Structures are given as structure tokens and as C-alpha cells.
Structure 1
Amino acid sequence: MFYRHWPTLLPGAKKVIVLFHRGHEHSGRLQHIVDELAMPDTAFYAWDARGHGQTSGPRGYSPSLARSVQDVDEFVRFAASDSQVGLEEVVVIAQSVGAVMVATWVHDYAPAIRGLVLASPAFKVKLYVPLARPGLALWHRLRGLFFINSYVKGRYLTHDRQRVASFNNDPLITRAIAVNILLDLYKTSERIVSDAAAITLPHATSDIRR
């Protein structure tokens, strides 16, 4: 699993932020977040998710969303261990499909992390063909694994022209998504949203340190 690490600039600092990128993207596209947050007392980590960026394996593929959620758990725990801190010092920030995986991880694993930020979680993926979802499910049963190319373009993600051009010309963007992951994304999103009350971590205000 390829990942990037931006170490703390202050010796002995014990804060960690783990970043999870949007669908189709990779850790290199999170550099601006690290720069703009400007937190020298914090170590940052970001991966290229399975099937994305510089991580090996078929593009856009994972055996299941559950396997990718397990990857999330393993990576956050690695980041904490690598920085020699407990999970209670780790904040997780995730976008889009990454936010769905992280929300599922928090729901299913209940990790004792310090904080969680979900930016535009992709709990609803819009397909522009009527009956596309049941059609994909049927075709998957009949044909097995196949891939769908994404319609997402840079202008759908930001109004910043420089970042639009960067997205459209980035050779590490993964345009394809495996049908099993797309279908898992639908099912998992429905499960997590319908049972969101079960997410009790990070702690409520009564548990905030003073």
C-alpha cells in the first residue's frame, strides 16, 4: 500500500491526522490540505487506496468494500503506531468515497479516535441511466467482474481552475471502478445512513478534554 507521510516539525509532538482521498484520486492530491492547514505540531498520513494511485493491483478494484474498510483500520493503526501515539490522539479527515469507507469503519469498528471530519461523503452515487443499479447487479451476476468508467470531471469537484486542470490531466487518476465496489457502495451507504445513531465515536461534548 503506497502512502505519504508528512512528519511533525516539532520534536516530541504527539498529534496525528490521517487523510483519505476522494474516489478515483490518490494521496498526492491531498498535499494542498496539509499545506493549508499549516500544523507543524502534527504528523500527517495519507494513502493511495487499494486500486488507486501508486498502490499496486488492478485499477479501481478491491475484493469488497469490507476489505477496503479493513484497510482503513489497518492504516490508521499503522499511522498511530508509526508516530508512537494512541488512537485517542488521531484525527481522521475523509472525502467522498473515502468518507463512506471511514464512516463504515467508525460504525463497524468503533475506534477510539480523537476526531472525525467527513467532507461530502458519497452516500448517494448518481447514475444517469434509468434502472442502472438493478441492471448492473443483474449483469454482475451473469457476467462476473467488469469495470465502469467514471463520468466525474474536475469541474464537478471545484471552481478552482488550476485544480480542475490538475485533476483532468493527472495520470494517476483512476477513471474505472469495479462493479462489485460500486454495488457495495450503494448497499453499505444505505446501511450506515439508516443506522447512523449507532456511531458514538468520537465522543460527545461531555467527554472533551478541558
Structure 2
Amino acid sequence: MGSAVQVCVASLGMVGVLIFMWLAVPTEQTLDLKFPNVVILRGFGNADIDPISFDNNTLPGITAAEASQFNGFYQFEPLFYHKSFDRFVPWEQREKTMVFSCTLGCSAYNTTAKEVKLALVHASLDGKRYSWYLTEMRDEDANSPIIYARTKLRKSPTYRVPWLTVTPGGDLKPRDLEDVDIITAWDALRFDTPLKWGVTAVIVGAIVLWCRSKEKDD
């Protein structure tokens, strides 16, 4: 293997490590290390959704194509602030939440309002069960925060949980969003698909062959 190829491989390896660190390593302000620094939301775009306001008022529906813009990278923001956020989570309960704001590949539905923020909020609002909420916060909007979707309630914090549409309550039941889920860098280490096993085998095999070639060169 030539020196140029070795330098290229080493450079790619370093870049890969840096990307993994950005995706996985929590920031210094993180008090709860159960979650990584970045989560990836995917699957929106296959079903229409019906958002509600923070106080359970029904809002105009969003088509599947429009909802697809919610997919992307969300980064943990320990100092997240929006002046309408307190309507959803009171200030004295902020320690029960973790907020991941839209960072890369995603965008808010409303692009004309002032100070629009799209965020994933992980919260235990009753102090017993946890859920994720996809929210959009807008200045000068009486309905803000807007809730687009949420996950089923869980007794323990987790990002591997089914997603649902939101409803104002009553007889209207939420629909399953079967294609929507959250993935993180740690999913790369979860050997749960043939593709991951195959890629791992190829990488290990390539490393073995490279080591043997170096032994022959010596």
C-alpha cells in the first residue's frame, strides 16, 4: 500500500472519529448522559399530520410533503430559550426536559414568523413518564409552541420509542407514525441488521488484509 493511500486512509479515519464525537459525545453542560449530543429524526413525509397548539387547540393540517422538512439533525442545546417555551414547560420544571434544536437538514414549517425555532423536546411532564415532542416555537403567535407529533409514554428515558400524531383529546385518537423514529450515533454499534453485520465483516477483513500486507512488506 503506497504512502499516499495510507495518508488518505488515516485522514478519513480521523474525520470519521471527529464526526462520531460530534454526534455522540455530550456537551459539558449535559447533566444527564443518557442521550448523545445529536439525534437524527427521520420518517416524516409519508403521512399527513394534524398539529395542535400547546393548549390543545386543533390547527390546520400539514401534508406529508410539507412534514418531510422536519427530518434532519437535532443537536442538544442545554441553554435553549424561547419566550413561548414556558407555556409548554413551566420554568420551574425545566430540569425535567432536554431540548434538541434543529441544526442540519431540517427546517421549521413557518419561515416568516420572527424567532422561529424547531426543536425536539424530551420531557417528563408528570414526573413519572417520558415522551418526545416535535415542537415549533414562534414569536407573537398565541398558539406557540406548536406540537406536531409525540412519542408514546415510557417509564424510562429512551429514544427508541414509537411516534404518534397529536390530538386535542376527546374521541379523536392519535394515529401511529410507523415510519418515524430517532436514530443516534450509537445505533451504528447496534448489530441489528444484516447490512451492519456485512459492513462490519468487510471492515474487519480489510484491516486483517492490510496488516498481513504490511507484514509481507517488512
Normalised by the shorter chain, which TM-score bucket? under 0.3
Higher helix share: 1
Report the structure number with the largest CA radius of gyration: 2
Higher strand share: 2
TM-score (norm 2): 0.24
Q: Which has the higher contact order (CA 8 A, sep 6+)?
A: 1
